[in-house]
Amino acid sequence: MLSAKEVLSKDRVGKKVEVRGWIYRTRSSGGIVFAVLRDATGIVQVTIKKGNVPEDQFAAATKAGIESSVIIAGEVAEDKRAPGGYEIRASKFLVVGDSEAFPITEYQSTELLLDLRHLWIRSREQTAISRIKASLLRGAREWYHENDYVEVTPPIITGVAPEGSTTLFQVKYYDRIVYLSQSAQFYLESLIYSLERVWALTPSFRAEKSRTPRHLSEYWHMEMEAAWVDNEGNMKVQEELVTAMVRNALKECPDEFKLLKRDIRSLKKIEPPFERMSYDEAMEYLQKKGHEISWGSDLGAVEERTLTIDREIPLFVVNYPKELKPFYMKENPDDPRTYKNSDLLAPEGFGEIIGGSERETDNALIMERLKEKCEDTKSYEWYLDLRKYGSVPHSGFGLGMERIVTWVCKLDHIRDATPYPRTVARVYP
Ligand code: ATP
Ligand code: MG
């Protein structure tokens, strides 16, 4: 048994091969059926000629609809008109699973494709995106492994709200209400006292009520935390990690990028160091570009777009005003109105893919900020303990996997960066 990709080669010409997969396209004229077979590796054309296969198999080939699963044997021949330049001239055509009239045809509304997501994920675009996502992940895993980070498994059910209580999902937990994790950060922080460098890939949940093309209610969050690392060291990790991820995808997925018509010239240029721009400088730049904002305004999608539209390399924006960021970040001694933190903005207008910071180690400051935010300090007692027993400077960050996929694949909407997007309006299928 060969894969579709393996068939498409000069060495196969004249040889007998067997393939299996699903019918991607089919048409028949007179005594000949032209079918295109799809499998995990790609597509290959098959011609089934009356007389070259048993009569009942020819009848089956004529009848077999799109998405029928089939096993086909035949001889490979060169054919310039076929996708990939080769085709199989069939001597055997077996239907494994019939397909009813497939509900997805060429032009479909976005809504219908979301309703039929369980079938739409078979599309070649979705398949390419899944492969690129896996390749980015593999690049990250290898980088972490080479740099002595330990992969850990934090809980998803939790009582804390690292990113603030407004976007929490509550779940009934026996006779209490608890939350779905927004971030594993606090748990990762607790693990650095033994492992020093840790990372985790977990789902994060955020009740994002505003509908934007870059927010999901559930996303895969890749988080890292390391002892003895300051904010600058934290940014070094981010630029190396992102570079390793992108390079691995470029190496493993050239065909997938081609299929998505993603111009990879700019991705090829990505390498450390990434430019660092202070929040103050970003404000100045944005004001010059005509944005009506002032010190203290948050940077949303529109501002991040202006900052990155003419860039090919990601950009760090550092030292945000405290009001804009969560309570656990370390105060910036050079300007105590700000934190020692960074957002990493992907280029080409894309915007934030990572948020990171050095962490506050002063429990008095943490308590003060929690009280200001009216958080119930009781659930944070264990978190405060971490600063009582051998506290060390440390930093970490969170990278949204679907964000990086959306940027690297240059997708219009983050929902296509995951097989089953969860949004305000949708939990089906
Ligand atoms: P944004 O301002 O874009 O909403 P954030 O500041 O809330 O992001 P963080 O809390 O720093 O984000 O989370 C870390 C990373 O997780 C972000 O940089 C982003 O890549 C990703 N992320 C955050 N919220 C979402 C979401 N709703 N859907 C998908 N990815 C997200
Ligand atoms: Mg957010």
Instruction: Report pLDDT for 163.
Output: 85
236 alpha carbon – ligand 2 mean position (Å): 23
Site to probe by mutation for ligand 1, drawn from 182, 211, 219 as the one with most ligand atoms within 8 Å of Cβ, is 219
Site to probe by mutation for ligand 1, drawn from 204, 209, 401 as the one with most ligand atoms within 8 Å of Cβ, is 204
219 alpha carbon – ligand 1 mean position (Å): 9
- Sheet holding 394-400: strands in order across? 150-151, 197-205, 218-227, 394-400, 351-358, 341-346, 315-318, 275-278
Measured CA to CA in angstroms, residue 428 lies from 210, 215, 421, 424 at distances of 19, 17, 9, 11
Cβ proximity of 244 and 204 under 8 Å: no
Instruction: Report pLDDT for 376.
Output: 79
H or E element in which residue 233 lies: helix 231-252
Cβ proximity of 242 and 314 under 8 Å: yes
Cβ proximity of 129 and 411 under 8 Å: yes
Question: End-to-end distance of the chain based on CA atoms, in angstroms?
Answer: 33
User: Is 227 exposed, middle or buried, given 0-12, 13-18 or 19+ CB atoms closer than 10 A?
Assistant: buried
Cβ proximity of 204 and 219 under 8 Å: yes
Instruction: Report pLDDT for 106.
Output: 85
Residue 300 CA: nearest ligand 1 atom is 2
Residue 217 CA: nearest ligand 1 atom is 27
CATH fold of the domain at 4-97: OB fold (Dihydrolipoamide Acetyltransferase, E2P) (2.40.50)
Q: What's the rounded Cα separation, in Å, for the pair 373 and 335? A: 22
Show me where the domains of the chain are located. 4-97, 117-417
Q: What's the rounded Cα separation, in Å, for the pair 323 and 338? A: 8
Q: For 196-214, how does the pLDDT look when each residue is reduced to its tens digit (9 = 90+)?
A: 999 999 999 999 988 899 9
Instruction: Report pLDDT for 162.
Output: 83
Within 10 angstroms of residue 427's Cβ, the number of other Cβ atoms is: 11
Closest ligand (CA of 407):
1
- Tell me the two tokens of residue 399: 């990278």
21 alpha carbon – ligand 1 mean position (Å): 38
Within 10 angstroms of residue 384's Cβ, the number of other Cβ atoms is: 14
- Inform me whether the pLDDT recorded for 375 exceeds 80: no
Confidence of residue 309 (pLDDT cuts 50, 70, 90): very high
Cβ proximity of 222 and 398 under 8 Å: yes
- Inform me whether the pLDDT recorded for 224 exceeds 80: yes
Cβ proximity of 404 and 249 under 8 Å: no
Cβ proximity of 101 and 218 under 8 Å: no
Q: For 143-180, how does the pLDDT look when each residue is reduced to its tens digit (9 = 90+)?
A: 999 999 999 999 999 988 888 888 999 999 999 999 99
Cβ proximity of 160 and 266 under 8 Å: no
Instruction: Report pLDDT for 238.
Output: 99
Mean pLDDT computed over 292-316 = 97
Site to probe by mutation for ligand 1, drawn from 188, 341, 403 as the one with most ligand atoms within 8 Å of Cβ, is 403
How much of the chain, in percent, has pLDDT values that exceed 70?
Answer: 100
Mean pLDDT, the chain, whole residue set: 97
- Tell me the two tokens of residue 113: 């494709």
- Strands of 229-373, DSSP E: 275-278, 315-318, 341-346, 351-358
CB-based pocket (< 6 A), ligand 1: 163, 206, 208, 215-216, 219, 221, 352-355, 398-400, 402-403
Of 60-74, 266-280, 373-387, the least confident: 373-387
pTM above 0.95, yes or no: yes
Instruction: Report pLDDT for 373.
Output: 83
Instruction: Report pLDDT for 348.
Output: 97
Q: For 230-255, how does the pLDDT look when each residue is reduced to its tens digit (9 = 90+)?
A: 999 999 999 999 999 999 999 999 99
Q: What's the rounded Cα separation, in Å, for the pair 352 and 219? A: 14
How much of the chain, in percent, has pLDDT values that exceed 90?
Answer: 94
Q: For residue 20, list its beta bridge partners.
A: 71
Class of domain 117-417: alpha beta
- Tell me the two tokens of residue 347: 């280029």
